[in-house]
Amino acid sequence: MTPTLNLAIELMSRRSVTPEDDQCQHIMMTRLANAGFNNEPMPFAEVENFWSRRGQQSPLVCFAGHTDVVPTGPEANWDNPPFEPRIIDGVLHGRGAADMKGSLAAMVVAVENFVAKHPNHKGSIAFLITSDEEGPAKNGTVKVVETLQARNEAIDMCIVGEPSSTTLVGDVIKNGRRGSLGAVLTVQGKQGHVAYPHLANNPVHAAAPALAELANEVWDEGNDFFPATSFQISNIHAGTGATNVIPGTLEVTFNFRFSTELTADELKQRTHAILDKHGLTYDIDWQLSGQPFLTAEGSLVAASVQAIEEITGRRTQLSTAGGTSDGRFIAPTGAQVLELGPVNATIHQLNEHIAADDLNTLTTIYERILELLLVDAA
């Protein structure tokens, strides 16, 4: 057992299913206070958050993450109880092992080690931790960032501990994310009897050609950092439940994952143009979950790439694939943002697990990144 694994197990033992924190943040803040950090709890509504900082000079290097985890599903279906973490044959089992209590433990221990070795380091170190990442994400990181901006406290570089690795810890860094634009489309028709279609207007039939066009549209070609924008329908609902009734409305839920080649407004305009071309009567409720962001180059990426190569001997891959993260709230402030964490193969699954030693490796990588940014840098 190592300090990182001990802390990971302590955090994983807490039933912090989103938006609950179950004292995880108290555990972290206690450790950080002992390392010279000033802790600021920042609760908003039912969500626990905290901001913790050591130092007042720039650059400010921030570790960001979340203490909440997704629901376990039927606990009886787990090989080991999800909130009774254990290490078996070198593998750490339990909810949050990868996403992302393991990363939180590695961050805290890395900072403790760094501060002990370099008490007079340059710049500042901070933690931005929420219990609302796996939920609606309305009262978590976004609210803390708004508070920091209101008092002109700027994050220069941010490491988000999301599980970015694919097969080996550090083999992939997420240096950006696609934007996410969701919508619920309601198409109006006229309800009627299936035997008398001339007295009704079937919205399913009316919308089908438009939906096909949306699905086949080439929205962009992507670029060197992002794949092409994608359109996906996730749900379609119509009908009263009776087999002999033409529905009066059709509801379609869809989502764009979009690159920096397009804006959300452009996607909305093009979608409306297609729907209008087909003569539909409709309403759309749009929901922008996050803008695309990219940290293509800079001191944070350079230090992370160097640290991973020094510690593991491998050359990491920069990627923007995958879903959204709370980095989408931090990047618009001008901060360099990347995601670096353990292997993501079992996140949100039954029997979530990672190689235990990966967290020790991750701890060393985080510590080395801090050295490169706040000690070795000219």
Phi-psi region of 285 (alpha: psi -120 to 50; beta: other; left: phi over 0): beta
Reported residue count of the chain is 378
User: CA-to-CA distance for 41 and 133, rounded, in angstroms?
Assistant: 16
Catalytic residue among 20, 22, 48, 68: 68
3-class SS shares of the chain: helix, strand, coil, % to 5: 30, 25, 40
- Asked whether the beta carbons of 311 and 365 are under 8 A apart, the reply is yes
- The identity of residue 346, as a single letter, is T
Could you give the C-alpha distances from 268 to 48, 253, 279, 294, in angstroms and in order? Answer: 34, 14, 17, 22
Check if 132 is active-site: no
Catalytic residue chosen out of the listed positions 133, 162, 326, 367: 133
Please give the sequence-ordered ranges of beta strands (E in DSSP) within the chain, or none if there are none. Answer: 38-41, 49-54, 60-66, 86-88, 91-93, 124-130, 157-160, 172-174, 176-177, 179-188, 192-193, 230-238, 245-246, 249-258, 282-290, 293-294, 317-319, 336-339, 353-355
SS3 sequence of 269-292: HHHHHHHHHCCCCEEEEEEEEECC
Q: Is residue 68 among the annotated active site residues? A: yes
Catalytic residue list: 68, 133
